[in-house]
Structure formats: structure tokens, C-alpha cells
Amino acid sequence: MSTRPRVTFDEHGVCNACQWQRNKEEIDWTARQGELVELLAKHRKSDGSPDCIVPVSGGKDGTYVFHQLRTVYGMNPLAVTIQPALPLDIGRKNLENFLERGANHLLVTPSANAMRALNRAGFVELGFPYYGWLISILVSVINVAHQFDCGLVFYGEDGEVEYGGTTETQSTPVFDIEYLKRVYLEAGHEKALAASNLEDAELYFFRFLPKIDTEGSSIDLTHWSYFENWDPYRNYLLAKENYGLQETLSANPGTFTNYAQNDQALYALHTYLMYLKFGFGRANQDASIEVRRGALSRSQAVQLVRLYDGAYPIEFEDTYLHYFQMSKDEFLNVLAKWTNQDLFDVDGHEITPKFVVE
């Protein structure tokens, strides 16, 4: 969608996500694997301590990256999980299955009070219902890397490059904290913390260590997708076969898939708000990925988007109201506030799209 933040189009109307898919056919992946080997050699340790960090939830992508680092490249990765606010049973089970395969693992559980306050503020002020959790999964992982004297953090795919955003990291394997703050935290991190009125102790897992803010960070931050052609379905198959990854019994809210983003209930609200703000939701996002990797035709994708996209996650409504401590009217008013009225008609709590995906 042309409404996606930071997306660009060429003179033929082709978005940069599709341009990147074509570019990947020309990339010398052998050369990039050589870059990976050099980066790993720089950080490899011989004393048994972790030499790299991989954020994981128990889902397919973190599992795949962890597996490749440990079994293919002989690294000693530390898996780090940030406890989500509203974990789902299947997410807990998948994390348990992952850990049964022998991973070194650290679970970070930030203050529930702070997480709720920051998530609520993100929902109301940014239309971003797990903003607090996003802060922590970025900040805490980097803090853990410093505390373990571990100079390398591996994320999965570069979402900006893969899905249509800024292309500034397209040709460089390592990015820095300033990029992370500006793009992934949307330059709102410090503002959100300052506005929270929370005690410093509650914000410990949401703030960079003081030495990072004063001296900068020596941590190399990178995406696995820079070094290998990213394929989320391949990741799913490997995680299912080797780590016991389980799917939901039916399609996830707002989409036709059942094997991704199963760790927490707030993701369904996040993608519903994405639909209201930008006109594309979880099904559109999933279908676009499947078209680019050649698993769906465009016409098939359009039909799936028409069937599934933009579904309100009614199954979690009571959970959201309890978590955000809101009445239903208050909750629906926030949704209406963030609805793009260039794309939707809003009549009270009734929201109707003005567009048709074709």
C-alpha cells in the first residue's frame, strides 16, 4: 500500500519491497556469507561465554536464526526473551519446546505496571498498543549484551528492506542504536518514558544503560536477512521439524495464516490498528509476502485480502478492556481516533472502508 510508512515506488509504480525481491536475485549471497563468517570470527569466544545474542519468542524466525548460529556456524548464542504483556498459551508452549532443545536462555520480565502504562500510552497517544513491549525488546536486549560483554546481536529480517520502508541498511550489515531509535522506536522512546510518570526503578528494563547514553554502544547490531535470502516459510518448516513449533488450530485474527506471531494477544490489535491507520492489515501483509516469494498469485492474494483483512479481533476484546482498564466506549473511541478518514468513513463506532483492494 502507498500508505505504508517510508515506502517508495519507482517510475513504473513498483514498490521498494518488490524491487528488493528482484534485487535479491542479483545479490552474491556467497560473498555475503563470507561477510557473515568474518563478523562471527570477530566476536567468537573460546571461554564458553555467549558470543552473540538472539532475541526469541519461541516463534519461527528467532528459532531459525538461533539454529543457524549454533548448528551451522558453531557459535554460542544466548537466546533472550522479553515477557509480553498478554502471552498466549501456544506462545508459552512454543517457547518451552524451543528451550527443551538445549538453548541457553534468559527471560526478562519488566515491571507489569510499567509495561501496562507504556502500552496504554502507546495505544492512546501513538495508536501503538504494545509500544512498551517494543521498547523493552530493543532496549533490554542491548543492555543484556553489554552486561554479558557480548558484542553481537542478531535480529531476524530487516523489516524496512524486506517489506517496504527505508532502504538505508540495504547494503550494510551493521546498524547502530541511533538508527534503532529513529526507525524502530519512531523517535518516541524518551518522550514516552518522560510522559509515563513512572519511577526509575520501574523503568529499568525500558532505558538504555547510562554508559550507552553517555559513551555510545560498541555492540554490532545486525539482521540475519542481510546474509541469507530471507524466507519466513522456510523458517517455519525448520522450527516445526527441529524445535516442535506448533500452529494455532485455525487462522489467526485478521489473516489466513496460523503459524506466525502466536506469542501474544496484543499483536492482533496492533495489526488491526495498522489497518485503520494505513488501510492494510495482517492478511494484506501476509499475502504480500507470499506473492513476493512466489507462493501465491496476485489474484489469489487479492481474494484472501478481501476475505480476511481488517477483521476486528473480537475474541480478545474483553482481554483488551481489562488490560488497558478502559470501558468499551473508551476503547472504541481510541480506535476511531486513529482511523484514517481518507480511507474510512467513521460514524460513531462504525468504521467502513472507502476503498476496495483490486
What is the DSSP code string of 192-260? Answer: HHHHH---GGGGGGGS--HHHHHH---PEEEEGGGTS---HHHHHHHHHHHH-----SSPPTTSS--SS
pLDDT-based confidence at 214, cuts 50/70/90?
A: low
- pLDDT tens across 86-143, in order? 999 999 999 999 999 999 999 999 999 999 999 999 999 999 999 999 999 999 999 9
**How many CB atoms lie under 10 A from the CB of residue 125?**
16
Residue 224 has pLDDT above 90, yes or no: yes
- pLDDT tens across 173-207, in order? 999 888 988 898 887 888 888 888 899 999 999 99
Would you state the pLDDT for residue 216?
Answer: 67
Whether residues 173 and 222 share a domain: the answer is yes
Which residues are CB-contacts of 195 (< 8 A; sequence separation ≥ 6)?
121, 125
Whether residues 185 and 319 share a domain: the answer is no
Whether residues 42 and 114 share a domain: the answer is yes
- pLDDT tens across 234-265, in order? 999 999 999 999 999 999 999 999 999 999 99
Whether residues 45 and 145 share a domain: the answer is yes
Cβ 81 vs Cβ 55: under 8 Å: yes
Which residue range forms the structural domain that includes residue 277? 249-353
* CATH number of the domain residue 183 falls in: 3.40.50.620
pTM: 0.94
Number of separate domains in the chain: 2
pLDDT-based confidence at 212, cuts 50/70/90?
A: confident
Residue from 186, 182, 158, 179 nearest 170 by CA: 158
Residue from 210, 189, 53 nearest 118 by CA: 189
- pLDDT tens across 298-355, in order? 999 999 999 999 999 999 999 999 999 999 999 999 999 999 999 999 998 899 999 9
In a domain, 162, yes or no: yes
DSSP state of 315: G
Residue 281 has pLDDT above 80, yes or no: yes
How crowded is the C-beta side of 203, counted as CA atoms within 13 Å?
Answer: 17
- pLDDT tens across 20-67, in order? 999 999 999 999 999 999 999 999 999 999 999 999 999 999 999 999
Whether residues 199 and 124 share a domain: the answer is yes
Cβ 252 vs Cβ 261: under 8 Å: yes
Whether residues 204 and 297 share a domain: the answer is no
106: left (phi over 0), alpha (psi -120 to 50) or beta: beta
